Amino acid sequence: MGRSAAFFDLDKTVIAKSSALAFGRPFYRDGLITRRDVVKSAYAQLMFRLGGTDEQTMARTRDYLATLCKGWPVEQVRQIVAETLHELINPYVYAEAAALIEEHQAAGRDVVLVSASGEEMVRPIGELLGVTDVIATRMAVADGRYSGEVEFYAAGPRKVDAVGDLAQARGYDLADSYAYSDSYSDRPLLECVGHPTAVNPDRALRKLAVENSWPVLEFRHPVPLGRRLRERPAVPVAAAALGVGVGVAIGIAWYGRHRRTRAATPTV
């Protein structure tokens, strides 16, 4: 029997927000996106969530991603992520997810983050969690800038392709491996392992999990890393058991807050 691994989706599974969306404000502040990009990104994210693994929807989202990021300096993106990671991501890591990752590592399993967000974001978040293996979207680079091409879009069935390649290279037994996700779009990922688990599932995934008798976990306690290390863990995983690419939606958080601010401002 081969080795086993645990594959974790990132957004709403390990962290309580979108990893790409979290960096929207500093990207806007540094001039990488405009207000128009914010609105278009919100629409692209909505279409991706509604379309799931539909090939046409995935292609449109991928192409929009490539256009949005074209010309961005790679080093600037990495610097923004490095400077804001502890402020924007660290406080939003689920304590339950961190504990579960540690349990898998203690059992000798490799842990792999699998996300449609860009590798420039996912890898530093993995390092924050003590995870070195990631599967994420990769953008093509030319002369230090994103060229407008997507080398690998880590969404839907593409995630399974990458998981299969890694399993073959590492000798993982997928029938003895684990996968965790919140989204129905990750159905292929969950079905490719012997131990799938729905975490904070959307409606369609919850229905699928019930139909297939998959475990469902509800993670509700995002806790900063320093506090988790002191309490180890803040919330036992057992107590919780109940049942896209760089910048695809990077402006949605800012846009939502902007709309709420305008709505709360009295008109004269």
In this prediction, residue 59 carries a pLDDT of 72
CB-CB contact of 26 with 81 (8 Å): no
In this prediction, residue 24 carries a pLDDT of 74
In this prediction, residue 244 carries a pLDDT of 33
Q: Which of 104, 4, 32, 73 is nearest to 254 (CA)?
A: 32
Active-site residue flag, 110: no
The secondary structure element, H or E, covering residue 99 is helix 95-106
CB within 8 Å of 71: residues ≥ 6 apart: 145, 146, 148
Q: Which of 145, 169, 153 is nearest to 244 (CA)?
A: 153
In this prediction, residue 23 carries a pLDDT of 78
d(CA 242, CA 249): 29
In this prediction, residue 256 carries a pLDDT of 42
In this prediction, residue 240 carries a pLDDT of 33
Q: Parallel, antiparallel, or unpaired: how do β-strands 133-142 and 195-199 relate?
A: unpaired
CB-CB contact of 96 with 233 (8 Å): yes
CB within 8 Å of 236: residues ≥ 6 apart: 99
10-residue averages of pLDDT along the chain (268 residues): 89 86 79 74 58 63 81 94 89 94 97 93 93 95 94 91 97 97 92 97 94 97 66 40 35 41 47
The secondary structure of 146-194, three-state, reads: EEEEEEECCCCHHHHHHHHHHHHHHCECHHHCEEEECCHHHHHHHHCCC
**9, 37, 110, 186: which is the annotated catalytic residue?**
9
d(CA 124, CA 246): 13
d(CA 179, CA 113): 10
pTM: 0.79
Active-site residue flag, 11: yes
In this prediction, residue 145 carries a pLDDT of 96
